[in-house]
Structures are given as C-alpha cells and as structure tokens.
Structure 1
Amino acid sequence: MNGPYLALILGLGSRAWTDHTIIDTALTEVWHDARQDGYSGIEVMEGTAPGADTMCGDWAKARFDHGIGHLPVEADWEGPCADSCPPGHRRTRRDNTEYCPLAGHRRNQNMVDRQPLIALAFQVGQSTGTADCLRRLAKAGVPTRRWAA
C-alpha cells in the first residue's frame, strides 16, 4: 500500500502505554491533516513492540479500507550483531536463547532513516526504547508530537 501519495507517519511509544483513545485521536488528526495537505492517506510505521507501537499498528490495520497503510518494522533480536556492537554484549534469556540488546536501537534508527513526515510518541515514565527513538528523531530533525502518561 506504500506509494508516493501516502504520508509516512511514525507511531511509537512505551510498552506500558494503555490509552487507546489518545492514540486514536492523534492518528485520526494526522490522517485528516495529511488529506488536507494533498496526500491520499497515511502509512503508519511502528516498531511492533507491545503497547503503543502495537496500538498504532492495530489502528492502521483497522482502517486499511480507508486508504491507510501499515508498515511494521521489527527488531531482529535473535539475528547477528552489527559490526558496531561491542564484543561479548549478547545476553541470554531464561529459555537460553541469545539476543542482541542493541537490536531495538538499530530498528529505531531504521525507522528514523525512512524519514517520516511526523512522529507521534506516547511515553510512560522514562521508557528507554522510546527515549532512544526520540533522541534519534530530534537529531534527524523529524517533527515529533509527544504525549506522556
């Protein structure tokens, strides 16, 4: 569904975010604004984490028939580390599977590098993943609207 007429919107936030109404209102407003600016719709990009990310994705999927796209961008937790990862930093879960603790940061940079028109951030407390993405968005100059709970 991605095309030149869809505005790319990044929805991100804390795993502890629970307020569906705020997300619904924020995405609906951005959708209407994009339509007013000449876009045929929006594509909601999100990082697939539970909480705010998933809620943004669910909002988009429920409105597919209205010209809204969905772009999930997953972190490759179990995959190989990047060349920039420090040696020996991989961690082991309780089920003995290893993962790269920096995979979420790489996913965040991947989303920022796609140059969304705007980012909508829904943060509870000092969520580290959300804070990391917000720093990357600010550095890239991506306009960001924030809500806190």
Structure 2
Amino acid sequence: MTRRILVTGSRDWTNEAIMRSALGDAWLRAGQSDDAILVHGAARGADSLAARLWEEGGFRTEAYPARWNQYGKAAGFIRNKLMVDLGADECIAFPLGISRGTRSCMTLARAAGIPVYDYEPN
C-alpha cells in the first residue's frame, strides 16, 4: 500500500538538517516503504527542498503548483485544499513565523483527520 506524505512549509525555509531528519522520520513511519510518495505544492523553500531531497533518495513526488494566473490570491488555499482532499497518511509541516499558507494547510489536514508533524524551530 502506497503511503502519501504531504509536505507544507514556509517559502523562506532553508534548514536542510531539520528537513532531512523530518523526511527520515516520515519514511520510518511509512514502514521504510520504497513506494512512499511525497506530495508538495511546488513552491520555493520547504516544498522545493523536500522534493529535491526525497527525489535524491530515489523516491517519487507529486507536485501541485498553485495556479496564480487562474485563481489569483486564492490559488495557494485552493492548491492546499486539493492536496489535502486527495488524501495523505500524514502531513509534515515546516512553518516559520506567520506562514499563513502553511498554517492553513496544517489546519485543513487536521480537519481531514491527517496527523500533522510540526517541525517549526523554537
């Protein structure tokens, strides 16, 4: 059974050490499955870093870029809701400060019953 790991995070996220640790934890929770898929929003920062590291490990990703031209300011929320609605076994989150989009995605995931692992630094 393919495990789906949803990632959400700040566009300003650069901490590769925390990201590597979080992805490793997620992979362990996925039973070290070679077919675990990382679902992300294709944004700079946390999404791009997570996707790059996951793919370097030989794993698959699914990208859902926001359609800013089509939906304007609502595009990020619409994209996040789509990723949650498609289903995930867990959500790993990398917020920094306000991170409105990240926190909104975390809220949507929790409301959908998806466990959220928050890696915000102290």
TM-score (normalised: structure 1): 0.76
Q: Is 1:48 equivalent to 2:12 in the alignment?
A: no
Q: What is the aligned counterpart of 2:69 among 63, 78, 85?
A: 78
Q: How far has the Cα of 1:132 moved from its partner?
A: 1.2
Superposed CA RMSD: 1.3
**1:11 maps to what in 2?**
7
1:34–1:41 contact (8 Å) kept in structure 2 = no
Higher gyration radius (CA): 1
2:10–2:96 contact (8 Å) kept in structure 1 = yes
Residue 5 of structure 2 aligns with an amino acid whose one-letter code is: I
Q: How far has the Cα of 1:142 moved from its partner?
A: 0.7
Q: Which has the higher contact order (CA 8 A, sep 6+)?
A: 2
- Gaps in structure 1 of 5+ consecutive residues: 82-99
Other structure's SS at 1:6 match: coil
Question: How many residue pairs were aligned?
Answer: 121
Q: Sort the Cα spacing of 1:123 and 1:8 in 2 relative to 1 into closer, same or farther, 3 A.
A: same
Higher share in helix: 2
Higher share in strand: 1
**1:130 maps to what in 2?**
102
**1:146 maps to what in 2?**
118
Q: Is 1:27 equivalent to 2:23 in the alignment?
A: yes
Moved >4 Å (runs of 4+) = none
What is the rounded CA distance, in whole Å, between the counterparts of 1:72 and 1:60 in structure 2? 12
Residues 39-118 of structure 1: pairs in structure 2 closer than 5 A: 39-64=33-58, 68-79=59-70, 81=71, 100-118=72-90
- Gaps in structure 2 of 5+ consecutive residues: none
Q: How far has the Cα of 1:6 moved from its partner?
A: 2.3
Q: How far has the Cα of 1:147 moved from its partner?
A: 1.4
**1:84 maps to what in 2?**
none
Residue 4 of structure 2 aligns with an amino acid whose one-letter code is: L
State, as a whole percentage, how many aligned pairs show the same letter.
31
Q: How far has the Cα of 1:114 moved from its partner?
A: 1.3
